Amino acid sequence: MKRKALYRKPLATTGSQAKKSEQTRSLILETALELFTERGYEETTMRAIADKAGVALGNTYYYFRSKEHLIQGFYDRLHELHRETCVPIIQRERTLKGRLLAVMRQILVNMEPYHQFAGVLFRSAADPHSPLNPFSSESEAVRKESVEWFAEVLKGTRVPADLETELPELLWLYHMGIVLFWIHDRSAKQVKTRRLMELTVEIITRLISIASLPLMRPLRKSAIELLTTLRQDVA
């Protein structure tokens, strides 16, 4: 299994020392991800990871507080991959629909290799007490950046003014919903998720474009009130 080496988190320490520990950390994470994708999360023991990486069991716990935190490492990498691939798309595509479609498509492409063990990822993400929970403070940085991308997706397109502040967060939430469906998707190469995504992007762009009509005003009001309530909890 080939993977781009995306993980690097240059710490503010002096040169080679920091580099060494960063290498060990990276080695452990790399090994863990390999084993996870090979034989699954539950089937991979911490001892096996330590063995294959050639370090002591205790050492893996020095770098990752728990087995779950290894998933957090995966999460971070995936996020970085999303950034590298999605930002150019936003610059290239000029319409809302074109951008949203291309970005969502790219996200699905990026995640595809990890479909088999993504269930575990979400299992943790769903637990309100887990650091992996996308609403948790630990995930705040990543979440904020993602929401900003969706703000970029909207930039320069026609959107009702009162919706403008709420929409990026809503699109992020939508994207989480698609990921949730993807995790449960058993169809070959997750074609169903792709179809679902294409249809919902169609609906969303339509909804946004008719949202300005006077007929829709009371509905839009309710929706905005709703989003304000929702946001208080997310932020």
Least distance CB 118 / DNA (angstroms): 18
The reply to whether 185 sits near its own copies by the rule CB under 8 A is yes
Min dist CB 28 to its own copies, Å, is 25
Please give the C-alpha separations between residue 59 and each of 31, 48, 50, 109, 178, in angstroms, as whole numbers. 14, 13, 8, 34, 37
Q: Which two tokens stand for residue 80?
A: 């970085």
Residue 234: left (phi > 0), alpha (psi -120 to 50), or beta?
Answer: alpha
Residue 63 near residue 28, CB atoms below 8 Å: yes
Q: Please tell me whether residue 206 binds its own copies under the rule CB under 8 A.
A: yes
DSSP assignment of 128-143? TTSTTSTTSGGGHHHH
Q: Which residues bind DNA (CB under 7 A)?
A: 13, 17-18, 20-21, 23-25, 44-47, 54-59, 61-63, 65-68
- Does residue number 225 form part of the binding site for its own copies (CB under 8 A)? yes
CB of 34 to its own copies, least distance (A): 20
* Count, residues in the chain: 235
Contact indicator for 90, 103 with CB cutoff of 8 Å: yes
Per CB under 8 A, 133 contacts its own copies:
yes
Residues engaged in binding its own copies (CB under 8 A): 119-120, 122-130, 133, 135, 180-181, 183-187, 192, 195-196, 199-200, 202-203, 206-207, 210, 213, 215, 218-219, 222-223, 225-226, 229-230, 232-233
